[in-house]
Each structure stands twice: as structure tokens, then as C-alpha cells.
């Protein structure tokens, strides 16, 4: 299902009983985040929240703030227009496995696949709702904003941008979709990198060392030419999800968004640079990074690691224009001690791309990134093991695969283990390993947010082979079977169990 604005998505959430409206005035500084955090800790991610009267320094913003809109498995499925994320994954999987047809039935099936691809390519349009209000920074007059309600011609200071945590260096845009372009190939990238507000038309942009926009940026720094950047918020939530998806460098995330929403993304040119953004976005912030300027201090920021990331040097982004819908909703998230909204976004990503993992590693049954591992710190993988040292192959393979390079600990278990049950994985890990034999230590790139690595951006890694061992893996002893009740007895006990329980309740 395609959403033509964030408001449409929010209304759909409300119809599904997934949204709570908050009509009281709530401060964008610390208060929205405190309420959101409490909601995010509710079972299964709680509800999405719409703050209808967010305040900035005591004045009510005309733009409501939507938080936690993607913060549950059900809401993530809604972002993908499906009843479950697995459905979207199965659809992507069938696309990946498409083969030349050998008969009429297969040709028909392939035609179905081709129909799905119809929407993938973005479509250029002349204008769109994201241009209902256009504010060019060089044309700003005086007298903006008066009384208790802000007017709708915002600079960054007028937008309901959150300060989430007490020690944050200021206000941060937390769900920004950042569009950049490779100056050599003109390939477009969409990534999500937080934006720190430093003035009415100045921000920091936190694209980390190993991310695609940082690679684009390095090319502009090498040539000394201005780097155009466009940041947008809202529109179809599939855009924000696609911006976070770990697609290979060179693959345009708008293709994924088009695939998910089953409708081509309508793209419109920016007012003050040549980049294109979705015409149905809620806000667009246009501007540039000037490689001739020194990097600036960015942070500190209460991060998804559960700790503050310290001040570091990042490029300055100069805003040249802000355009928006008249009835725009400002989407935001709050990151911090897990689980938060980003856990559900990350889990959806892993599920969606499972068919791709399985194409490279057919023995993989399932992968889980438990919330405690804040994305990459901890990865559980189950495999159908058929030969010695297959678990080690999987560890090294994953460390070499895109953003899985950030994984600090990878635990490999046998096919029958439910990797989403952390207790079961720990049981197998503790019982199935001989540390000297089954632990692999190595080095590699690390998440720059990881405060435990001695240096930023690289560190050590540990792999645990918790599968049952074969003689060729240095285990000459027989491997014992795990204890399980006989299946026929279990069926009998199942029936008896209800009867016994009923009797117990009656006795109580």
C-alpha cells in the first residue's frame, strides 16, 4: 500500500488501533522523548504517538510530531503494506529467485514477477505537495513567528526538532532521509544519518566513516567542489525504512521504496540544487556541504548504543531552502537503551533480506539480532550444518557482507534452535562449546559508535561455534542426543494436560 503523506500513514495507524493522540502541550526538549521512551518499553513496542501540540521554548508548533510509528512488528508490516514482514520477504525472495521460464506456467509466473518490478523505478514529476510552502533562506524576511503559535515558514529553529537526552549537544533530526550523489557516476544514495541543528540554517551531518554518503563526501573533498545534499522527512514511511536498509553501495534505495509501496516514487527536483526528492515528502531541507570548510564538532548524542557518543568531527551542512506541505507532520524517533523503535526497524530489515542471505549461504535457517546487542553487537545464526567448520565459514562470510562487518559477536547454532529465543541460544552456547576449540577471535571494522573499541571504527570480533561437533572438528567422542519427550506420549499428555489443569482449577 502506498501512503501519499505521513498523515495518511498516521491515520491508517489510528484506524488499526496502533496510535495514541496526545493533545496536551509537550515540550520538544526532553519531554517528548521521556514520554516516548516509556511507551517504547511497553510490550511489543507499545503504540505510535502523535504529539498534536509540541512546544518549542514554550510556543506551540503548527507541526505535530509523530514518534514510534515504526516501533512494532505490526507497524513495520504496515509500512511494507503487508500483514507480516515475512510476507514482504517472501515476495522479495521470489523476485531474487526468478529464472528464465521453461514452460507456459513458468512464463506466467515470471510475468507476475515483472508486474511487481513495474513500480520499482522512480518517476520524475514537475511538482508536488512537498512544495506547498517554499522558504528560501536567502529570501527570508523579518517578522516571522509571533504570539504563542509559530507561523509555517520555518527555519530549522521553528521546526519541532527534538532534544532527546539531557547531555545531548542540542536538537537532532532523528529520522532524516539524506539524499547524496556520487559525483563520478551520478548514482544516488538515500541514507539515514542524524542531523544536529547548529543554527537557523546550519547543521552537522553524521554520516559515519563506512557509510555511502561519507564515501560520496570524500570524492567532493578530493576535488574541492561543493556537495549538494537534500534531506527530507515524511511522505511514505517506506522511504525512511529504505534509507536505513543496508543495501549495497550503488543500489538506489528508492528502488526498494518503490518495490515496497507498489507504486513508483514520484521524484521532484529541489529548488536550490539539482537533487531529486519524493514529491510527497512532508519536509525537504536543501543545501550543501562545502569541502573548503573545516569539519565541525558534532554531538554529544544519546545514541542507540544506550550511551552518549562523544563530540566528533563531521561536515557542516548549510541549508539553502526548506519546503514543506501545509499540513506536514514531523516524524521523529528516540534512540537510547534498547529496545526502542530502531530495534523493530532493524529486525524488519534482517527478515526482509533473509532471502538474500540465504542465496549466498543456503545453509542459513534464520538470523536474529537480539535487542540487547543494539543491532550489530550480537548476531545469532542457525544453520543446517553438513560439513566440518561450516559454522566458521558462516562467521567469516557474514563479517564480509555489507554492514554485517560491524558484528562484534556471532554465535552459530544448529538448525533446530530458535534464534529469537535468547535463553535457548545461551543454553546451546554454554553446553555445546569447548572454549579453546570453538571460539574464533579476529579483527575488523567496527561501528564508530562502539565506545569499547580502543580506537574508533575498528576492533576485535568473536565467533562462537555452538553447533554439534563432528569428529573432523576435533571431537572424537560421540555427541549425545538432546532430551525430548516421545512424540506419541506428548500427544497423549497434551490431551490429558487440559483435563488435569481443569481439575486443578476446580479444586482451587
Ligand X SMILES: Cc1cc2nc3c(=O)[nH]c(=O)nc-3n(C[C@H](O)[C@H](O)[C@H](O)COP(=O)(O)O)c2cc1C
Q: Residue 362, Cβ neighbours under 10 Å: how many?
A: 9
Please state the closest distance from residue 118 (CB atom) to ligand X, in A: 24
Q: In whole angstroms, give the CA distance from residue 80 to residue 345.
A: 11
Q: C-alpha grid cell for residue 101?
A: 521460464
Residue whose CB is less far from ligand X, 244 or 382: 244
Helices 253-261 and 85-96 cross at an angle (nearest 10°) of 120
- Catalytic annotation present for 303: yes
Report whether the peptide linkage leading into residue 125 is cis, meaning its omega lies within 30 degrees of zero: no
Alpha-carbon dihedral 378, 40, 239, 450, rounded to 10 degrees = -30
Comparing CB distances to ligand X, the nearer of 372 and 416 is: 372
The CB-of-172 to ligand X minimum distance in angstroms stands at 9
Q: Give all strands of the β-sheet with 266-269 in edge-to-edge order.
A: 123-124, 266-269, 276-278
Q: Is 250 exposed, middle or buried (0-12, 13-18, 19+ CB in 10 A)?
A: exposed
Minimal distance in Å, beta carbon 375 to ligand X?
8
Residue nearer to ligand X on the CB measure, 342 or 438: 342
Name the strand (E) or helix (H) holding 307: none
Complex with ligand X: residue 272 or 347, whichever CB lies closer: 347
Whose Cβ is closer to ligand X: residue 94's or residue 403's? Answer: 403
Contact 285, 320 (CB under 8 A): no
> Contact positions toward ligand X, by CB under 6 A?
174, 189, 191-194, 206-208, 211-213, 243-246, 333, 335, 342, 345, 403
Beta carbons of 193 and 177 less than 8 angstroms apart: no
Min dist CB 212 to ligand X, Å, is: 4
Dihedral sign for Cα atoms in the order 133, 138, 143, 147: positive
Helix orientation angle between 237-244 and 341-352, rounded to the nearest 10 degrees: 70
Smallest distance, Å, CB 60 to ligand X?
A: 26
Q: Which three cell numbers stand for residue 284?
A: 525537504
Specify the 3-state DSSP secondary structure of 186.
coil
- Choice between 189 and 273, CB closer to ligand X: 189
Output the furthest CA–CA distance in the chain (Å, rounded): 82
Q: Are 160 and 53 in contact (CB under 8 A)?
A: no
Element (H, E) at 334: none
Residue nearer to ligand X on the CB measure, 404 or 411:
404
Of 168, 303, 366, 438, the active-site residue reads: 303
Q: How far is the CB of 304 from ligand X (least distance, A)?
A: 7
Nearer to ligand X, 206 or 469 (CB): 206
- CB within 8 Å of 338: residues ≥ 6 apart: 304, 306, 371, 372, 374
CB nearer to ligand X: give 285 or 412: 285
Distance of closest approach, residue 102 Cβ to ligand X, in angstroms: 37
Write out the three cell numbers for 450. Answer: 562502539
Nearest-approach distance from CB 207 to ligand X, in angstroms: 5
Other CB atoms within 10 A of residue 208 CB: 17
CB 283, CB 322: distance < 8 Å: yes
Contacts with 62 (C-beta within 8 Å, 6 or more apart), sequence order: 149, 150, 151, 152
**106 three-class SS:** helix
CB of 169 to ligand X, least distance (A): 13
Point out the residues that are catalytic. 303
Amino acid at each position: 500500500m502506498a501512503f501519499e503523506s505521513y498523515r495518511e500513514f498516521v491515520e491508517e495507524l489510528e484506524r488499526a488501533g496502533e496510535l495514541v493522540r496526545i493533545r496536551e502541550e509537550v515540550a520538544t526538549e526532553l519531554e517528548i522523548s521521556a514520554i516516548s521512551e516509556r511507551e517504547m518499553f511497553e510490550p511489543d513496542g507499545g503504540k505510535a504517538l502523535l504529539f498534536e501540540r509540541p512546544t518549542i521554548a514554550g510556543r506551540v508548533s503548527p507541526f505535530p510530531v509523530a514518534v514510534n510509528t515504526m516501533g512494532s512488528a505490526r507497524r513495520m508490516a504496515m509500512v511494507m503494506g503487508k500483514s507480516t514482514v515475512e510476507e514482504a520477504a517472501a515476495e522479495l525472495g521470489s523476485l531474487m529467485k526468478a529464472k528464465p521460464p521453461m514452460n507456459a506456467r513458468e512464463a506466467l509466473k515470471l510475468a507476475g514477477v515483472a508486474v511487481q518490478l513495474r513500480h520499482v523505478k522512480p518517476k520524475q514529476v514537475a511538482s508536488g505537495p512537498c512544495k506547498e510552502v517554499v522558504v528560501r533562506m536567502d529570501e527570508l524576511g523579518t517578522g516571522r513567528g509571533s504570539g504563542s503559535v509559530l507561523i509555517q515558514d520555518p527555519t530549522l529553529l521553528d521546526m519541532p526538532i527534538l532534544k532527546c537526552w539531557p547531555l545531548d549537544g542540542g536538537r537532532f533530526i532523528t529520522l532524516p532521509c539524506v539524499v547524496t550523489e556520487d559525483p563520478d557516476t551520478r548514482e544516488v544514495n538515500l541514507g539515514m544519518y542524524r542531523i544536529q541543528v547548529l543554527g537557523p540554517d546550519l547543521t552537522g551531518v553524521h554520516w559515519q566513516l563506512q557509510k555511502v554518503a561519507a564515501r560520496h563526501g570524500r570524492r567532493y573533498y578530493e576535488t574541492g567542489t561543493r556537495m549538494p545534499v537534500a534531506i527530507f522527512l515524511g511522505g511514505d514511511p517506506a522511504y525512511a525504512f529504505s534509507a536505513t536498509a543496508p543495501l549495497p553501495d550503488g543500489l538506489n534505495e528508492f528502488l526498494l521504496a518503490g518495490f515496497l509501496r507498489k507504486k513508483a516514487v514520484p521524484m521532484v527536483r529541489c529548488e536550490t540544487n539539482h537533487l531529486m526528492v519524493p514529491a510527497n515528502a512532508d519536509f525537504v531541507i536543501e543545501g550543501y556541504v562545502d569541502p573548503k570548510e573545516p569539519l565541525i564538532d558534532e554531538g554529544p548524542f544519546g545514541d542507540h548504543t544506550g550511551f552518549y557518543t562523544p563530540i566528533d568531527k563531521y561536515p557542516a551542512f548549510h541549508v539553502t531552502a526548506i519546503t514543506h506541505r501545509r499540513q506536514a507532520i514531523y516524524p521523529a524517533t528516540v534512540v537510547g537503551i534498547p529496545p526502542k523503535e530502531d530495534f523493530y526497524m532493524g529486525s524488519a530489515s534482517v527478515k526482509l533480506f533473509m532471502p538474500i542471505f540465504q542465496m549466498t549461504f543456503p545453509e542459513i535457517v534464520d538470523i536474529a539480532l537480539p535487542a540487547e546487542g543494539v543491532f550489530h553487537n550480537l548476531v545469532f545464526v542457525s544453520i543446517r550444518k553438513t560439513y566440518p567448520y561450516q559454522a566458521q565459514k558462516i562467521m567469516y562470510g557474514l563479517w564480509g557482507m555489507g554492514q554485517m562487518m560491524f558484528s562484534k559477536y556471532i554465535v552459530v547454532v544448529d538448525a533446530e534452535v530458535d534464534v529469537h529465543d535468547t535463553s535457548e541460544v545461551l543454553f546451546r552456547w554454554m553446553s555445546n562449546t569447548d572454549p579453546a576449540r570453538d571460539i574464533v577471535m579476529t579483527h575488523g571494522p567496527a561501528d564508530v559508535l562502539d565506545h569499547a573499541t580502543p580506537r574508533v571504527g575498528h576492533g576485535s570480533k568473536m565467533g562462537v561455534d555452538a553447533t554439534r561437533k563432528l569428529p573432523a572438528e576435533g571431537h572424537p567422542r560421540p555427541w549425545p542426543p538432546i532430551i525430548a519427550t516421545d512424540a506419541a506420549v506428548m500427544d497423549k499428555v497434551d490431551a490429558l494436560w487440559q483435563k488435569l489443569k481443569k481439575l486443578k482449577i476446580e479444586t482451587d
